[in-house]
Amino acid sequence: MTSPELSPEAIRELGRWVADFVADYLSTLGEQPIASEDVTPRRVRALLAEPLPRQPQGVAAALEDFQTKIAAPSVRVGHPRFLAWMRTSPLAGAVFAEALAAALNQSVAVWQGAPAATEAERLVLRWLLDLSGYAPDAEGILTSGGSMANFVGLLLARQAAFPEVRVHGVRSLPKVAFYLSPETHYSAVKAIEMMGFGKDAVRCVPTDHARRMHPPSLRRAIRQDRRDGVYPVAAVATLGTTATGACDPIDEIAAVCAEEGVWLHVDGAYGGLAASIPTAAPCARGLAKADSFTVDPHKTLFVPFEAGAIFTRHQGLLPATFGTHTAYLPNAEDEGFHFRDYGPQLSRNFRALKIYLILKIYGADAILQTWERLHHLAAQFAAQIEAADDFQLLAPASMGIVAFRYTPPGMDEEALNALNKALVPVLQRRGEAFLSLTHLGETEALRACFISYRTTEDDLPRLLDAVRAAAREVQG
Ligand SMILES: Cc1ncc(COP(=O)(O)O)c(C=O)c1O
Distance between CA atoms of 334 and 112, rounded to whole angstroms? 10
Distance between CA atoms of 270 and 86, rounded to whole angstroms? 8
Confirm if 269 and 295 have CB atoms less than 8 A apart: yes
In a domain, 101, yes or no: no
Q: Are 135 and 207 within one domain?
A: yes
Distance between CA atoms of 43 and 194, rounded to whole angstroms? 35
State if residue 248 touches ligand 1 by the CB under 6 angstroms criterion.
no
At 263 the pLDDT is 99
In a domain, 65, yes or no: no
At 178 the pLDDT is 98
pTM for this model (two decimals): 0.97
DSSP, res 302: -
Q: Are 325 and 396 within one domain?
A: no
| Average pLDDT across the chain, whole number | 97
Residue 314: name the closest of 174, 173, 152 by CA.
152
State if residue 296 touches ligand 1 by the CB under 6 angstroms criterion.
yes
Distance between CA atoms of 239 and 387, rounded to whole angstroms? 28
Cβ burial 93-120 (10 Å sphere, 16+ → b, else e): bbbbbbeebeeeebbbbbbebbeebbeb
CA of 269 to the centre of ligand 1 (A): 6
CA-nearest residue for atom 4, ligand 1, is 146
| Tens-digit pLDDT profile for residues 33-45 | 999 988 999 999 9
Distance between CA atoms of 172 and 329, rounded to whole angstroms? 31
Q: How confident is the model at residue 334 (pLDDT cuts 50, 70, 90)?
A: confident
In a domain, 42, yes or no: no
Distance between CA atoms of 463 and 435, rounded to whole angstroms? 9
Which of 304, 320, 349 corresponds to the end of one domain? 349
Beta strands in 314-374 (DSSP E): none
Residue 243: name the closest of 212, 202, 264 by CA.
212
Q: Are 304 and 392 within one domain?
A: no
Which of 306, 323, 349 corresponds to the end of one domain? 349
Pocket test for ligand 1, best of 150, 181, 185 (most atoms within 8 A of CB): 185
Q: Are 462 and 418 within one domain?
A: yes
In a domain, 56, yes or no: no
| Tens-digit pLDDT profile for residues 352-391 | 999 999 999 999 999 999 999 999 999 999 999 999 999 9
State if residue 238 touches ligand 1 by the CB under 6 angstroms criterion.
yes
State if residue 449 touches ligand 1 by the CB under 6 angstroms criterion.
no
H/E stretch holding 100: helix 92-104
CA dihedral for 212, 273, 234, 171, sign (positive or negative): positive
Residue 372: name the closest of 465, 438, 274, 289 by CA.
274
Average pLDDT on 284-309 reads 98
In a domain, 49, yes or no: no
State if residue 159 touches ligand 1 by the CB under 6 angstroms criterion.
no
State if residue 215 touches ligand 1 by the CB under 6 angstroms criterion.
no
In a domain, 354, yes or no: no
Residue 1 has pLDDT above 60, yes or no: no
Q: How confident is the model at residue 335 (pLDDT cuts 50, 70, 90)?
A: confident
| Tens-digit pLDDT profile for residues 162-187 | 999 999 999 999 999 999 999 999 99
Residues spanned by the domain of 474: 1-35+75-92+363-476
At 3 the pLDDT is 82
- CB atoms near residue 287 (< 10 Å): 23
State if residue 276 touches ligand 1 by the CB under 6 angstroms criterion.
no
CA-nearest residue for atom 16, ligand 1, is 242
Q: How confident is the model at residue 77 (pLDDT cuts 50, 70, 90)?
A: very high
Residue 80: name the closest of 465, 471, 449 by CA.
449
At 4 the pLDDT is 87
Distance between CA atoms of 111 and 85, rounded to whole angstroms? 36
State if residue 270 touches ligand 1 by the CB under 6 angstroms criterion.
yes
- For position 462, which CATH number holds? 3.90.1150.170
Pocket test for ligand 1, best of 265, 296, 298, 306 (most atoms within 8 A of CB): 296
State if residue 267 touches ligand 1 by the CB under 6 angstroms criterion.
yes
Pocket test for ligand 1, best of 147, 298, 305 (most atoms within 8 A of CB): 147
What angle (nearest 5°) sits at the alpha carbon of residue 123, between those of residues 117 and 124?
A: 85
Confirm if 258 and 235 have CB atoms less than 8 A apart: no
Residue 247 has pLDDT above 70, yes or no: yes
